[in-house]
Structure formats: C-alpha cells, structure tokens
Amino acid sequence: MENVTGPYSVTWNFGDGTTVVTTNQNSVVHSYGIPCQPFDYTVSAIIESNEICDDRVLTTSAKSYDPCKRRKAVAKHKVNYAGKKVRMKMKIRKRADIFGGATVFKNKMKYRKNGTKTITASGNVDLLTGTVCTPVSMASLMPTVSQSGKKKLKDKLSDGNIYFLDLNTPYSVTFSHSNGFSYTLFYSLSC
C-alpha cells in the first residue's frame, strides 16, 4: 500500500459469507461457486493501520456465472427435399421481466407438402429451482407433436418456469415428414 510503512491488515468480505484477513498483503485470491444463474456479489476490503486515522473501506462488485448456460438461442436450417423447401427453426428465449422473465421454447417446421409433419424434442434443459439447476427432459416438457396437411407445424412451451440451455449438452429437435424426410437440429454455440 502506498504511503503506509508500518504493519496493516485488510479484512476481505466476498459477499458470499467468506471473510479473509490478510496482514501486510494487498491481494487475495477467492473463487466463487458457479451458480445456476448469474449472480452479483459485493466485495469489500477494510484496511486497518495505525498510520491511517479512520479505517478505509473499499467496495466493488464481482459477477459469477456459467458461460455455458444461456437463456436465449436460435438454430435454423433450410433445405430442399422432394421439390419443396423445408424450413426448420428452434428457439429458446427469456420473456420480458414485466411478464415474469419465464422461458419460452418454440419449434417450427414449414414444408408445403401433403403428409404428416412431426416435431420431437430430446435431451435436457436446466430448470432453475431456488439457486440450483435441475436437469429436466425436453421430451417430458414438449412431447412429440404431429399434424397432417400442408400447414406449418408449431410447438410452443411457456409454463412460467425459468430454464437454461447448457451448451455442453444442448437439447436437439428432430423434424420429420411422412415422405421420409428427417433432420435433427441442435444449438452449435460455443461457451
């Protein structure tokens, strides 16, 4: 520390219940656990020395989060099959905070060919429960949907819960048609 020649101590409070006292040392390393959702911690350092009239208190903030967990992502694919365009899209997004901030899942398939279209989700997403993420099967959240005809097939879920997409093990959606077409779409984002 500048201008302090005698002994001093620093009491570090990391905002997560951890307090460390160092003597004649300016820095300390602290590792936070990775919470399910981003969390801001207030970090403070109280400097005590006989050379300082009043204790000095310094504060800042630190953010802890998992860069592989997302609440917003989109994957699209277009292809020609049997003379017609097939458009597929899967999306996860966060609703506005004024609507509760819940997660919305949407899967769409547009293929102007007569027959039965099917959308099947597989894999897991993480459900926020308190401060912990619990894996939940996409097949249980969004069961397989089918529809006959030429209309666009849509599948949507907004159950009021907060979910996270884990990019280490992203869920996938298989789009298929009764004429033999099948394609599996997944998120290919990096952490």
Ordered structural domains, the chain, with CATH: 8-64 (2.60.40.10), 69-186 (2.60.40)
pLDDT of residue 53: 67
State in Å, rounded, how far the first CA of the chain is from the last one.
38
What's the burial of 183, exposed, middle or buried (CB within 10 Å: 0-12/13-18/19+)? middle
pLDDT of residue 159: 92
pLDDT of residue 51: 73
pLDDT of residue 50: 75
The angle at the Cα of 17, spanning 16 to 21, to the nearest 5 degrees, equals 110
CA 73 to chain centre: 9
| Both structure tokens of 34 | 């990775």
pLDDT tens-place values along the chain, 191 residues long: 566 667 888 899 998 889 999 888 888 898 887 777 788 889 999 888 877 766 688 899 988 888 889 999 999 999 999 999 999 999 999 998 888 889 999 999 999 999 999 999 999 999 988 778 899 999 999 999 999 999 999 999 999 999 999 998 999 999 999 999 999 999 988 88
Do 173 and 124 meet the contact criterion of CB atoms below 8 Å apart? no
pLDDT of residue 110: 96
pLDDT of residue 163: 94
SS3 assignment for the chain: CCCCCCCEEEEEECCCCCEEEEECCCCCCCCCCCCCCCEEEEEEEEEEECCCCCCEEEEEEEEECCCCEECCEEEEEEEEECCEEEEEEEEEEECCHHHCCCEEEEEEEEECCCCEEEEEEECEEEEEECCEEEEEEHHHHCCCEEEECCCCEEEEECCCCCEEEECCCCCEEEEEECCCCEEEEECCCCC
CA 20 to chain centre: 31
Nearest one of 147, 150, 145 to 84, comparing CA atoms? 150
pLDDT of residue 123: 94
Sequence-separated (6 or more) residues with CB below 8 Å from residue 29: none
